[in-house]
Each structure stands twice: as structure tokens, then as C-alpha cells.
Amino acid sequence: MNRSLPLVILAMAILAFATVMLVVAPKVQIGREPAAAGLKPYTTEQLRGRALYSSLGCVYCHSQQPRAPDQAPDAERGWGRASIAADYAYDSPHLMGTMRTGPDLLNVGARLPSASWQLTHLYQPRAVSAWSIMPAYPFLFEVKDRASPGDRVVWLPEDRRIPGKVVVARPQARDLVAYLLSLDRTYPVPRSAIRDDGYSRGGATQ
């Protein structure tokens, strides 16, 4: 290879430039952003649910980043206001996702605050929406003859019940629901918050 040294130097310089612009500069910009006033740190139970959310691969179909009205009608879909950097202060790693095969979940705790609904839906999404393509998670539940004291029984519509049995949530299912219900960024945006204004060029507000 001729002139290999200049080629290597050039390649390194391009990589370094990209790293500075895409990694270092954003870190400097949002790394010091404090958590939003209305945001609570996750509890241990919620963190266990969050780990389960990662391991089950929910992030491949569900984003956690509602967009501004100029970009997408997410507010009217009930997904909440556009997210800001401070919304993710306690998320490590963040689970923003890129695919929207399913709805955005950053505010699912505000949109669907019923824990019993969440349990039914996780056990069998088709029990709620016949057309849903979300996988069912029966392994987070236990089918028993009768519920013991302290068990969380999952309600199912009549056509989904198993005769003579009850479906009970395992601790994992309760952790996951605790995490889902903690997803609630409906507090007001701090005035000085860093946010994405990339789409506010007058489009929808003109």
C-alpha cells in the first residue's frame, strides 16, 4: 500500500471528528442537564421491571420518545408532549428505541394507569385487541387451580378464561407493570430545558 501513513492519519481524523460531533459534543451539551422537577428516580421494583423490559426486547417495537406536533401527531395519539433531555435523567441506558411497530410508551403510565389492565394485556394482548400483533408473555404468569392469599389474579374476558383455573401474576409480571406505570412524563417542561426544535419552522403553527 502506497502512502499508508497519510491514509491512516486521515481515517483516524475523520473518525475523531465524527466522535467529537456525535458523542463528545452532545455529552457536553446534555450531560449537565439536571433531572426534570417532576421526575422521580426509579424504585428497586421498577428497576427490576426495567431490566425485564430490556431483556424481553420491548424496545425493538416500542419507542420512548414522543415527538413535537410539528413532526408527528403524537400528542393526539395520546402519547404525550415531545420529550426533552431532562426526561431521561434516570435512564441508564436509555430505551428510546427507533421502531414504532407498537405505540410509544414514554407516557404509558399516564395513558393506561390501570395495573389490572396491564396484567391482562401482557398475559394475552388479543384478549384486549383482537388485531394486536404484540407477543403474549404467558411465562410471566402462572395458571393455578385456585389463588392463594396475596396472589394477584389476572382478569380475563369470558372467551379467554381457562375453565376451573385462575391466572396469577408472577413477581416478574408485577415488576414489569410497576415499571410501565412509572413511565409518566406529563409534568410541565422546565423553561430552560434542552429540547429538539429541529421541526419548529412554523409548519403547524403558521
Instruction: Note the residues at the interface with another protein (CB under 8 A).
Output: 1-2, 69, 73, 75-78, 80-81, 107, 110-117, 120, 127-130, 153, 155, 157, 186, 188, 191, 195, 197-202, 204-205
Q: Is the preceding peptide bond at 93 cis, omega within 30 degrees of 0?
A: yes
CA distance 65 to 62: 9
* SS3 category, 10: helix
- C-alpha cell, 202: 412554523
CA distance 155 to 161: 9
CA distance 166 to 144: 5
Q: How far is the CB of 135 from another protein (least distance, A)?
A: 17
Q: Which is nearer to another protein, 8 or 54 (CB)?
A: 8
User: Could you give phi then psi for residue 169, rounded to 5 degrees?
Assistant: -75, 130
What is Dmax (Cα atoms) for the chain? Answer: 78
- C-alpha cell, 112: 393506561
Q: How far is the CB of 116 from another protein (least distance, A)?
A: 5
Q: How far is the CB of 122 from another protein (least distance, A)?
A: 13
Q: Which is nearer to another protein, 115 or 136 (CB)?
A: 115
Q: Which is nearer to another protein, 90 or 103 (CB)?
A: 103
Q: How far is the CB of 41 from another protein (least distance, A)?
A: 22
Q: Which is nearer to another protein, 92 or 131 (CB)?
A: 131
- Runs of H (alpha helix) within 31-77: 44-55
Q: Which is nearer to another protein, 47 or 187 (CB)?
A: 187
Q: How far is the CB of 197 from another protein (least distance, A)?
A: 3
